[in-house]
């Protein structure tokens, strides 16, 4: 990443630019996805959310939402990840995801969950969750429910329904 790009935690002032980026990348259908139901009502910014800027222009962002799985906290839901298509395949997605994972680990998070493509997220240590072990409040293709352990054994121990943690 060249020095004119800055990677930093997300600030509340970034939210309008992030919303515009999501419009550009995902379109309006994004609000119907099951992962959005988990995030609904949770604080829009957690300490683990990251953004990349080129000057004043926000070009990539990842949201990280603290969750409980089967009532047990200590996990986060990663997503959405969005990189402006003008800047695709230049390593910004990789940078966001690795930094978010590092920050979560420093915050004693044990497990990172996401709904996404294993061919992309596998490189960051994400693996398919055995079908039925972890459930979301809506339909999810089981091949796309992926988890990365930040502490050995955390994936095996996580069972039950995912719920967003609503306090900041």
E-strand ranges in the chain read 5-9, 50-54, 57-69, 72-83, 111-115, 127-128, 134-135, 145-149, 160-164
CA dist., res. 70 & res. 130, Å (int): 15
94 makes contact with ligand COA (CB under 6 A): yes
One residue of 34, 90, 98, 133 binding ligand COA per CB under 6 A: 90
Residue whose CB is nearest to ligand COA in the complex, by number: 93
164 makes contact with ligand COA (CB under 6 A): no
Which span sits near ligand COA by CB under 6 A: 41-49, 73-81, 135-143, 156-164? 73-81
CA dihedral (125, 139, 85, 3) in degrees, to 10, reads -40
Q: Is 2 or 108 the residue whose CB approaches ligand COA more closely?
A: 2
Nearest partner of 69 among 166, 168, 163, judged by Cα: 163
Tokens of 147: 């988890």
Of residues 118-137, those binding ligand COA (CB under 6 A)? 119-120
89 makes contact with ligand COA (CB under 6 A): yes
CA dist., res. 161 & res. 167, Å (int): 18
3 makes contact with ligand COA (CB under 6 A): no
66 makes contact with ligand COA (CB under 6 A): no
82 makes contact with ligand COA (CB under 6 A): yes
One residue of 61, 65, 66, 93 binding ligand COA per CB under 6 A: 93
Distance between first and last Cα of the chain: 31
| Residues contributing to the site for ligand COA (CB under 6 A) | 25, 79-83, 88-94, 116-117, 119-120
């Amino acid at each position: 990443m060249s020095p004119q790009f800055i990677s930093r935690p997300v600030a509340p002032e970034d939210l309008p630019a992030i919303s515009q980026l999501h419009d550009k990348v995902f379109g309006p259908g994004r609000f119907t996805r099951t992962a959005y139901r988990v995030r609904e009502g949770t604080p829009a910014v957690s300490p683990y959310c990251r953004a990349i800027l080129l000057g004043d222009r926000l070009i990539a962002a990842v949201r990280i939402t603290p969750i409980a799985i089967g009532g047990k906290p200590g996990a986060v839901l990663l997503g959405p990840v969005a990189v402006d298509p003008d800047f695709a395949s230049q390593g910004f997605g990789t940078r966001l995801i690795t930094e978010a994972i590092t920050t979560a680990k420093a915050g004693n998070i044990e497990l990172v969950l996401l709904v996404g493509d294993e061919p992309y997220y596998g490189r960051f240590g994400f693996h398919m969750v055995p079908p039925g072990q972890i459930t979301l409040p809506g339909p999810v293709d089981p091949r796309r429910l992926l988890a990365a352990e930040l502490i050995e054994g955390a994936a095996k121990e996580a069972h039950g329904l995912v719920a967003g943690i609503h306090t900041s």
